[in-house]
Structure 1
Amino acid sequence: MNSESLVSRRAALCGIVVALAVPSGLVTACSSGSSSAPTQGSAPTGSTGSTGSAGTPGTALVALADVPEGGGALVDGPGGKKIVVARISATEVKAYDATCTHQGSTVAEPSGGTITCPSHGSEFGVADGSVKKGPATSALRAVGVRVEGDQVVLT
């Protein structure tokens, strides 16, 4: 058996394993389809625009006290989807789908004004989810939130 046929078999087996193991939604999320920058809202209540439905408006995601100012928190959203919540100031928060737009890994909690993907090092700005450093080429998808009392809730 020559080395060329071993590589072909190995490549074929890897393709089959990936096709069976990766959910189709993840493949779609990692594709290089159209990119859309998140819309921004800067209402005094700390709300941010939403580019998609993340759940029922008014659903509490996290206590404001659990989101450090200048940092953030990684929380479970509706349907178990991870959401990264960043606290911009005492009363302003922003939230994004925590799925990295590069290859679908879950990003880390914000720190120092940056949301970092631990898998390949992509960095996103907390103020708008925009790419600060690749390999990602499109922004994180904004999730609409606001501060309501002592909670961060979906809008």
Structure 2
Amino acid sequence: MSLTRRNALTGAAAVAAGAPLLAACGSSGGGSTATESTAQAGLTLGPASEVPVGGGKIYADQKIVVTQPTQGTFEGFSAICTHQGCPVSTVANGTINCTCHGSKFSIQNGAVENGPATTPLPRVDVKDDGGQIVTA
């Protein structure tokens, strides 16, 4: 789309009226700044036995990744990368991985291990409820 006078004035008017300004991704990695995700409490994700110790499982439909850094300790995070909003695709070698641009996050706390993301994955409260992983 070429920039016309009408497009420029319409965009300027929208910004002046308080419309949110959207920015394309650059190398700065400015993704989401949220520290917690809001997931419906009581949502059953699946058997705890499917979440390997030292790894994790991605529940793509719910956009949640659950990890088990140590035996019996379950951590939940948003499965949406904070860099550009791509879904994370794997959990391996102690990290939650987004293959869109190479960001990696800790399975223990969602902290950025490798950029370009600069913001941790938002937490999702999860627990083992009778052998099932549920949101808390």
CA distance in 2, matches of 1:34, 1:59: 24
Give the TM-score normalised by structure 1: 0.65
Pairing 1:154–2:135 present: yes
Pairing 1:65–2:63 present: no
CA distance in 2, matches of 1:133, 1:53: 25
Aligned partner (choices 56, 60, 72) of residue 91 of structure 1: 72
Amino acid corresponding to residue 37 of structure 2 in structure 1: G
CA distance in 1, matches of 2:80, 2:31: 15
Runs of 4+ in 1 over 3 A off after TM superposition: 30-34
What is aligned with 1:74?
A: 58
Select the structure that is richer in strand.
2
Aligned length in residues: 115
Where 2:39 maps in the other structure, the secondary structure is: coil
Where 1:65 maps in the other structure, the secondary structure is: helix
Identity of aligned residues (%): 37
Alignment of 1:5-154 (within 5 A): 9=2, 32=30, 35-36=33-34, 38=35, 51-55=36-40, 57-76=41-60, 80-154=61-135
Select the structure that is richer in helix.
1
How far did residue 90 of structure 1 move? 2.0
User: Contact (CA 8 Å) 2:78, 2:123: kept in 1 or not?
Assistant: yes
User: Contact (CA 8 Å) 1:71, 1:109: kept in 2 or not?
Assistant: no
User: Contact (CA 8 Å) 1:84, 1:109: kept in 2 or not?
Assistant: no
Give the TM-score normalised by structure 2: 0.73
Amino acid corresponding to residue 56 of structure 2 in structure 1: G
How far did residue 33 of structure 1 move? 6.7
CA distance in 2, matches of 1:60, 1:136: 29
Gaps of 5+ in 2: 5-21
CA distance in 2, matches of 1:120, 1:52: 22
The alignment yields a C-alpha RMSD, in angstroms, of: 2.6
Gaps of 5+ in 1: 1-7, 13-26, 39-50
